[in-house]
Amino acid sequence: MLNHFNIVGTKENLAYKQSDYYTKITDDSDEMTHQAIKGPSLQQTDKIKSENIPPALYNIYKKPLLLHQGHMQYLFDHEGRRFLDLFGGIVTVSVGHCHPKVVSALQDQIHNLWHTTTIYRQPRIYEYVEHLASKMPGDLKVVYLVNSGTEANDLATLLARAYTGNQDIISLQSSYHGYSSAIMGLTASQSYRMPMPVPAGFHHAMLPDPYRGIWGGCRDSLSQVPGSCHCPGDCVTSDKYVHQLEELLGNSVPAGRIAALFAESIQGVNGTVQFPKGYLRKAHEAVKKHGGLLVSDEVQTGFGRTGDFFWGFETHGVVPDIVTMAKGIGNGFPLAAVVTTKAIAEAHTRATYFNTFGGNPLAAAVGKAVLEVLEEENLQENCKVTGKYFIEQLMQLQKEHAMIGDVRGKGLMLGLELVKPGTKDPLEITETAEIMEIIKDLGILIGRGGRWGNVLRIKPPMCINKEDVDFTISALDQSFKQFENICQY
């Protein structure tokens, strides 16, 4: 049988969680049975970490978690405690931990063929790229399979430069597009920038942020910034932010010599920042006039997570020239992709190209199974329906806690920006970490992001349900109350 959590808080506030939520998930499936841990103990991992793990890889919690088992939206630690996973391995577990269909597809392939590389043809790879390409609009039909989001964005920069013959690339302030020496300049987040020179040719445009931007704005979300405009179509502020982009294009890059604009549909690492309605479409038009392409980074927003559409860029009414994707594409398996047009891919033939591990038979089998589960279980619709309920409950919670400065997002890509009550001053990162510790002790794993590390990021496996949302709201409410009592907020 499962070991349940030692719940912190009052019986009144947590009665729902104990009597209903845990009973439901305990009875839900025999597959929920906790297995004994195999491997080093928590104490042994302390020693191994101090001696063998890079110090840059830090523990997110003061009391580290040793996780060794997962099932759908749940994770288990070494003591058998079960956690509701609201971060999905940093927005990577899409259809659920150890989803049986994905596991079966991997098992079938692993007994047949592991690896050939791209110099040979292999049926799983061809089946997969055809299925993935069918999800793309317009002429986006050529699929490169790679291993990670960083690698995908690195390849996208190469393709944009090769096709246009231009070198300069623009991304938005506070964006995250990967962590490598080649594209560190593309990432415009100080937290992820090493103090060393980066390759030339990267520029960062003003972030059009409805909550903290100088002109505010309204966004495609049920939740708007208090006092914001409510434009029926494009937001009136979108032209102002695009004007700043045009100023950058007109001053900082050679005339008509831009290679690409990189943009996420919703900024992920920066704490679920959405742009004012109409911005991305108009930004695309501005970049096209200067000879550039639009690269849509769908690493976190793709595969139906935002609910209304399969790809986040569709919400903005644009068709990019290049799309990069990773994370949820493989439900945790190392897989990523770049999808573009035949014309752009043709520019890549000027040099020999291959990718040793990109889209090997194992990865392709997993990727294909993930697409099938998304379709068969209607997970995009679940993101839309459950996400709507989730953000409505978060908006109610915001009314009760002044430290919730902003609630934002779409589908199951949501964020809560925490501030010092009565201000927009970011909550200190140490205070946000303390809240996350309380939330964890109540049985929920949640993410953190934003420029100041003060945004709670909610990007769970796409199979969560209404009961999971109710459990989360109860735990968040209790966590905020406990923190407010300690800090007298």
| Same domain? 233 vs 325 | yes
In this predicted structure, what is the pLDDT of residue 335? 97
The pLDDT, as a whole number, for residue 25 is 54
Please tell me whether residues 338 and 473 are part of one structural domain.
no
Flag whether the pTM goes above 0.75: yes
Are 156 and 76 part of one and the same domain? Answer: no
Residue 3 lies in a domain: no
143 neighbors 129 (Cβ within 8 angstroms): yes
Same domain for 409 and 372:
no
Cβ neighbour number for residue 134 with a 10 Å cutoff: 9
Instruction: Decide which of 323, 341, 376 is a domain's last residue.
Output: 376
**What DSSP element (H or E) covers 249?**
helix 238-251
pLDDT of residue 8: 36
Q: What is the pLDDT of residue 11?
A: 34
pLDDT at 58: 85
Residues 370 and 396 occupy one common structural domain: no
448 in a domain, yes or no? yes
User: What is the model's pLDDT at position 6?
Assistant: 34
Residue 472, in any domain of the structure:
yes
The reply to whether 306 and 388 lie within a common domain is no
Last residue of a domain, one of 336, 358, 376: 376
Distance (Å, whole) CA 144 – CA 358? 8
Residue 336 CB partners (closer than 8 Å, separation 6+): 145, 146, 147, 148, 149, 151, 152, 299, 324, 325, 326, 327, 329, 330, 358
Give phi and psi for 53, each to the nearest 5. -100, 135
Strand-pair category, 168-172 with 258-264: parallel
Residue in this structure with the two tokens 């849509």, named with its chain if needed: 296
Residues 216 and 340 in one domain: yes
Specify the pairing of strand 447-449 against strand 455-458.
antiparallel
Does 93 map to a domain? no
Question: Within a domain: residue 320?
Answer: yes
Domain presence at residue 97: no
Q: Tell me whether residue 91 is in a domain.
A: no
Task: Assign residue 274 the CATH number of its domain.
Answer: 3.40.640.10
Other CB atoms within 10 Å distance of the CB of residue 419: 18
247 and 186 inside one domain: yes
Mark whether 369 and 407 lie in a shared domain.
Answer: no
Whole-number pLDDT of residue 4: 33
Count the alpha carbons within 13 Å of 337 in the hemisphere toward its beta carbon: 31
Query: Contacts for 306-309 with beta carbons within 8 Å, 24 or more apart?
Result: 306/265, 306/266, 306/383, 306/387, 306/410, 306/411, 306/413, 307/380, 307/381, 307/383, 307/384, 307/385, 307/387, 307/388, 307/410, 307/411, 307/412, 308/384, 308/410, 308/411, 309/380
Total length of the chain: 489
Please say which residue of 376, 404, 436 terminates a domain.
376
Same domain? 156 vs 234: yes
- Show the low-confidence residues of the chain (pLDDT under 70): 1-32
> Which CATH number goes with the domain that contains 61?
3.90.1150.10
The enclosing H or E element of 408 equals: strand 404-410
Is 180 in the same domain as 301?
yes
In which domain, by residue range, is 466 found? Answer: 11-86+379-487
Q: How many CA atoms lie within 13 A of 384 on its CB side?
A: 13
Number of domains, the chain: 2
Do 411 and 351 fall within a single domain?
no
Fill in the DSSP letter of residue 310. Answer: S
Whether 95 is in a domain gets the answer no
